[in-house]
Each structure stands twice: as C-alpha cells, then as structure tokens.
Amino acid sequence: MKKTRLKNLNVLITAAGSPGVPGLIKSLRLVDERKFKIIASDMDENAAGLFLADKYYIEPPSSNPQYALKILNICRREKVDVVIPNVGLVTLSKNLKKFEKNEIKVLVSKNTKMLEKVIHKGRLFSFLEENNIPVPEYSEVNNLDEFINAVRSLGYPKKPVCFKPVISEGTRGFRILRPDANRLDFLLKEKPGTPITTLENVVSILSKADNFPNLLVMEYLPGKEYSTDLLLKNGRVVAAVPRYRQITKLGLSIVGMVENNKDVLELSKKVAEISGLDFNINIQIKYSEDGKPKVIEINPRVSGSLVLCTAANVNLAYLGVKALLDEPFSVAPVKYGVKMIRFWSELYINEDGSTYTL
C-alpha cells in the first residue's frame, strides 16, 4: 500500500554550530512521510551545521534586542513553517504571537516564566526542592566570603565540591574543587579544558573580580550520569528515552547508551510534568555518593545527543515537530541497549560554496 505523503516543510534551525545540530539534521532527513527544506543560522560563518543545510544565514547573538525580529525576518524570507531553536528560548517564547501571526510555529514552550526559572539554576533547584524532587545540596552565593563558607560547609577539603554560574550554557563556568589537584600535572600532563581546580586557585581569581558573579556552589556527585530526552504535549509526557552518559567531554556525550533505568525514567517523567513545559525537553540526572539519583539540569529544547534516540527507534526531533503542528503520531518502542560512539569527521567546501565529504 502506498504511504500517504504529508506536506513538505521548511524548517529553520538556529545556532547551527551547536554540536547536536548535525544529528538533528540527520533525524529530519530520515523522515519518509515528508521532505524538509532545512535552513540554518548561526553567528559563526564557519559553523558546520550551516553547510549541512539547504540554505543558511548569519544570525545575531541571542542577547541582541532585535534577535527575535531578525529570526522572524529570515522566516518570512524563506517561508519557514517551523523554527527549531537552540538559543534565545525566553526571547522567542515572549515573541510567539508575532511568529503565529505569520503562520510560523516555534518549537519552544509558551510557559515563559518557567523557561526563565529553568535557565536560572538557583531558582530551578529551589522549585524542584519545593516539589520534593531530589537535587544536590547547594548554596547560591553573591560574594567571596559566602563562596568560601559554602564550599567549606559542603565538606571541602575532605570532599570535592563543584560550582557554576547560576545562569550558564552547558559546562561554561563549571568547576570541580579538589584539594589534591596538582597544578604541575595539569600544566604538563592534562589536556586544556579540565574542570578540576583548587579552592585556592579560584579564590585568587575571584578576589580580583570587580563584580562578584552570582554562583551556585553544589555537592559533588561522583556517580553515573543520565540524560533523558522527553516530549510533552499539553503538559503530559508522551515519549521518554533515558540515556547513560558513559563518557562526556565539554558537556557533550561522546559515548552514550540508551538504558532502561526505571528510577531515572520515573524521576524524569515526574520532573517533566511538574515543570509545566511543552514539546522537547531534556533532564540530566546524576547519582550521589550514597547511590541516590538527583536532578542537576533541565534543558527546555532539543538536546545535543537527541540523534541517539533516533537510532534507538524514537525520532524525537520529528515527533516534536508533529506535536507542535498538532498532527497525530504514535511512538515506537524504545530500542534499549543501543550505544553511540562519537568521532570527528570533516566537511569540505568548494569555492562556489558546494560541499562534499571523503
């Protein structure tokens, strides 16, 4: 029997330099029932995702006051049906009506207040605690004395302690304080980019700051880390795929596996449904020293490793688009045990802009 083909769609993917965009594009290209024209945008003219798309634009920083208008103008020019954003979520959520007037759908929750709460890690942890969701022990600090006291109260130097800015993307600003950190070893033996340091090193830097940054000091969780990709429709979870983050580098899963961890799945679903968010979200969970799963992050967008879900039989990227368009869909059974290993690849660009691979 011949399959019914649906209307082809023009999709704009923003921040196309994000590590997960190549996998996102692959997931959309794999869809049989319709074709996609993929437009990509990024601040960086060398972002790989731009050259994997059918057409691309250079976008301004999401902090630009005109960001939403610039994205809307791209959409009008390219007759975009759906926007899949990787940045500027709050800004786009606040401007949804402008996009809807132009018959453009944006894959972001309308719950702007919750988006703002999720982005601020201190408010997020407070919200989760109020709803009896386990989170790491933490303190939000605003000056150097508070920072030092919070680190000590969490067990340093007997235990490692970590911290990050209350508002940050991925692993930016994340550090692990370990008293046994050997500066000479880090200088000569470790690759650049390690998050491990000492309290003394950090204090020497923070003491010179003109304006002390708002930081979240947290319990260090040494156990296994999981990331659950979920899809919500009208506040209800309709699909969920838990992944074990076996090896990570710079916040990205390099080796991961779809694992049927019922505790992680149950906790992720509970968090998702109390969040009041819709469409694609990602929840990160890590195990504590005493073996308890604790929520460390909610990412209210498509995640950087969503392609692993596609490989495990659940194309959450496309299901998110269908949910956004209010199209009926079914969710295939998750293929547990699928493992992903990431590696570097190359893309070559001719003078005329055409691309090829070897």
Per-residue model confidence (pLDDT) at position 13? 98
CB 271 within 8 A of CB 295: yes
174 in the same domain as 268: no
Binned at pLDDT 50, 70 and 90, residue 168 comes out as confident
- Report the CATH number that the domain containing residue 231 is assigned in CATH: 3.30.470.20
Per-residue model confidence (pLDDT) at position 192? 67
Task: Please check the confidence at residue 4 and state whether its pLDDT lies above 80.
Answer: no
Tokens coding 326: 């209010």
183 in the same domain as 118: no
In a domain, 34, yes or no: yes
- Report the percent of the chain where pLDDT is more than 90: 86
Task: Please check the confidence at residue 172 and state whether its pLDDT lies above 90.
Answer: no
Taking the C-alpha atoms of residue 51 and residue 49, their distance in angstroms, rounded to an integer, is 5
In a domain, 128, yes or no: no
The per-residue pLDDT for range 183-218, each reduced to its tens digit, is 667 667 666 667 888 899 899 999 998 899 999 999
CB 53 within 8 A of CB 38: yes
> What total number of domains does the chain contain?
3
| DSSP H or E segment with residue 322 | helix 316-324
- Report the CATH number that the domain containing residue 191 is assigned in CATH: 3.30.1490.20
In a domain, 314, yes or no: yes
The per-residue pLDDT for range 57-89, each reduced to its tens digit, is 999 999 999 999 999 999 999 999 999 999 999
Task: Please check the confidence at residue 26 and state whether its pLDDT lies above 70.
Answer: yes
228 in the same domain as 202: no
Handedness of CA 251, 302, 317, 353 (dihedral sign): negative
What DSSP assignment string belongs to 38-105?
EEEEES-TT-HHHHHSSEEEE---TTSTTHHHHHHHHHHHHT-SEEE-SS-HHHHHHTHHHHHHTT-E
pTM of the model: 0.93
In a domain, 132, yes or no: no
300 in the same domain as 202: no
Tokens coding 107: 């894959």
What DSSP assignment string belongs to 162-226?
EEEESB-STTTT-EEE-TT--HHHHHHTSPTT--EE-HHHHHHHHTT-SS---EEEEE---S-EE
Backbone angles phi, psi at 57, to 5 degrees: -135, 155
Task: Please check the confidence at residue 356 and state whether its pLDDT lies above 60.
Answer: yes
Per-residue model confidence (pLDDT) at position 3? 65
93 in the same domain as 32: yes
The per-residue pLDDT for range 27-65, each reduced to its tens digit, is 999 999 999 999 999 999 999 999 999 999 999 999 999
Backbone angles phi, psi at 320, to 5 degrees: -65, -40
258 in the same domain as 118: yes
